[in-house]
Structure 1
Amino acid sequence: MSTLKSTRSTVSRVLLAASVVAALGFTAACGGGDDKADDKPTKPSKGASAGTTGGGDDKASDEPSDKPSEEPKGAGPLTEAQLKKALVSGSDVPGLKFDGGPGGDLEKPITVGAECQALADAATINSHPEAKARAAAMGMPTDFSSMNIVGLLAHEQADATKIVADVRAAVGKCQKFDADGGGFSQTKALPDPKGGDEGVAYSMMTKGDDGDTQAVTFNVFRSGSTVAVFYSGNIGSSTPGTVPQKLIDAQLTKLEQVAK
């Protein structure tokens, strides 16, 4: 089975949900490593497991590193149980219905060129270094006019800061990346989004294994030690949508309350 696997949707394949989910191989869900299901912050990590990266002639210095940052750690990572509690669900966001979390599996990291690795990680709710825990959910309005995916990744604060910086750098360098089942192209930097401690925004065109293309907008935030990834698109439109501010506000507020 390919790393990016096609996922059938209950919505017609002409909808954005089908084309994006097929391209991303995303099973809206929550997952994590060996984090214990408690509500107490985990102890600082001694290191993250090494991941694989690629990229032909790309220099290793441009590549998101699996080595934890040596900057002051700041806040420790949230537990898997805390991420589940913090994740938007049901009707937390007016006008949107969220499904898919908690439960199930998130995708494993994919390996692309070093200049694009941070964007590939964001698209599959992954990171370098590896998150201590992950959670994600997918939401749509009742008229299926758009699709919105939210992912939370638990890190040491210094690592979360570096991940956002890596995404920002990749937006300026990466124009496309391909993988089995789909790919992304035409990266466009957008104004920084509002919310969290810092954030970066960009759009890309995604192409599924059936050849359909769709514009998707990404927002990647740091809130304390957690990285929050949002991506949205308008169904049946080649124009990138915007991540709803009400979704950003609801998710980051809920995350901040849990992290207190």
Structure 2
Amino acid sequence: MRIRTTAVAVATAAALLTGCSDSGSGSEKPGAKSPGSEQTAGRQPDQKAAAGAVLSEAELRQALATATEATGYQAKDNDVPATRPKADKAACRALADMTATGTTRTPEANAWASRSFTSESAEPGLSVTTSLFSYEGEGAQQTVAGIREALDACADGFTTTGNNGGATITYTSVTAEQPLEGGEEAVSWVMTGEAQGQQVPMHLTAVREGNTLAVFFTIHLLSPEKTELPKDLFDTQMTKLADAVKSA
């Protein structure tokens, strides 16, 4: 059963995560709570427009944590062609966008950079894809607000088509979770994907820092029940992003 579950998790992850592809010339090697409730929906968005610089692709890439900074992880840049899965329910578009690569989404991002991290020893099989998006105007705030709305509307699940490799992914449930502390506002949730009769939980967290959005997509290829965003990796990335935004 473990072998079958692992194979399904890998197949599902390959359809969703850019880090499971073979691309990435910039590779580095290191030396259920109710959606929408106050307790689980994360911090509420600021009503004031986000201020600050709109980072370029080069600046976003510089703001990504490296394997040296994220000790205990292997790191690999994600340079795959842009992919935007389409949700079968319009209300779930914001969640489908969080599985997309590139700048095409609603609202449109100004720039995008992404890097995947795999645990070397502490938690073998754990994979976290970190993506940074910069937005003009209130695009980052609108994106977070759209996610919050979709969590309420899509709790019973939805389906996306046109994923990496053209796959169709069915999400049987969407559950909001309490996000880790970081950024100006954050939202976290679990989408459970189904493949070959197996349930594969995928943990996502979106954090806004000024006009930049950091999205963490976590999956466990060996033990799906252990899917959880590591706090050490999260803190390392958010500290570096905050410094980049402040100095831009």
TM-score, length-normalised on structure 2?
A: 0.73
- Matches of 1:73 and 1:186 in 2, distance apart? 31
Note the 1:1-260 alignment, pairs <5 A: 14=7, 16-22=9-15, 24=16, 26=18, 72=49, 74-101=51-78, 103-125=79-101, 127-143=105-121, 144-156=124-136, 158-174=138-154, 175-180=156-161, 181=167, 182-208=169-195, 212-239=198-225, 241-259=227-245, 260=247
Going from structure 1 to structure 2, the CA distance change for 1:95 and 1:18 (only over 3 Å counts) comes to: farther
- Matches of 1:228 and 1:94 in 2, distance apart? 19
Residues 101-120 of structure 1 show CA distances to partners (whole Å, capped at 9, x for unaligned) of 4x342323534422111111
Could you say which structure has the higher helix fraction? 2
- Matches of 1:240 and 1:13 in 2, distance apart? 13
Count residues with an aligned counterpart.
207
Going from structure 1 to structure 2, the CA distance change for 1:92 and 1:185 (only over 3 Å counts) comes to: farther
Q: Is the 8 A contact 1:121 1:127 kept in 2?
A: yes
Cα shift at 1:192: 2.9
Going from structure 1 to structure 2, the CA distance change for 1:206 and 1:115 (only over 3 Å counts) comes to: same
- Matches of 1:254 and 1:214 in 2, distance apart? 30
Q: Output the aligned Cα RMSD.
A: 2.7
Cα shift at 1:92: 2.5
- Matches of 1:116 and 1:203 in 2, distance apart? 14
Aligned residue type for 1:119? L
Residues 145-204 of structure 1 show CA distances to partners (whole Å, capped at 9, x for unaligned) of 211111111113522111111111211111322133123221111113211111011111
- Matches of 2:240 and 2:91 in 1, distance apart? 33
- Matches of 2:55 and 2:99 in 1, distance apart? 21
- Matches of 2:8 and 2:171 in 1, distance apart? 18
Gaps of 5+ in 1: 1-11, 31-69
Q: Is the 8 A contact 1:98 1:140 kept in 2?
A: yes
- Matches of 1:82 and 1:153 in 2, distance apart? 11
Q: Secondary structure at the match of 1:136?
A: strand
Aligned residue type for 1:26? T
Cα shift at 1:212: 4.6
Percent identity between matched residues is 25
Cα shift at 1:13: 6.5
Look up the match of 1:3.
none
Cα shift at 1:73: 5.3
Aligned residue type for 1:88? A
Gaps of 5+ in 2: 25-46, 162-166
Aligned residue type for 2:134? A
Going from structure 1 to structure 2, the CA distance change for 1:215 and 1:198 (only over 3 Å counts) comes to: same
